[in-house]
């Protein structure tokens, strides 16, 4: 009878421990989640079926801002950095 009562006490504890072990998320490599999100985004698998548009006046304002950006010289601090890089985004 003593053994049966110990088993009765330990059974829920052991089952709970097995449940916790099964609930642990799988180990992932560094960057895996980011790569999965980027793949989902680039594949279009989760893309909305509703076409996303901008109204005419908003589209015109966006285009005008784009055109106006060419009227100003690029500031010196964008042309180079302190490390001697080109500042153009390349990794020379």
E strands in the chain: none
Of the candidates 35, 58, 38, the residue with the CA atom closest to the CA atom of residue 46? 38
pLDDT at 73 > cutoff 70: yes
pLDDT at 75 over 50: yes
Residue 92 has pLDDT above 50, yes or no: no
d(CA 66, CA 31): 34
Please give the pLDDT value at position 70: 93
Q: What is the mean pLDDT of residues 68-86?
A: 75
Mean pLDDT of 73-85: 70
What is the mean predicted confidence (pLDDT) over 60-64?
97
């Amino acid at each position: 009878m003593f053994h049966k009562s110990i088993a009765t006490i330990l059974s829920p504890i052991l089952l709970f421990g097995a449940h916790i072990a099964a609930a642990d998320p799988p180990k992932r490599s560094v960057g895996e989640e980011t790569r999965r999100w980027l793949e989902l985004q680039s594949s279009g698998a989760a893309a909305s079926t509703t076409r996303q548009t901008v109204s005419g006046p908003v589209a015109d304002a966006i285009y005008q801002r784009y055109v106006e950006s060419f009227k100003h010289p690029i500031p010196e601090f964008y042309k180079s950095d302190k490390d001697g890089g080109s500042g153009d985004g390349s990794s020379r």
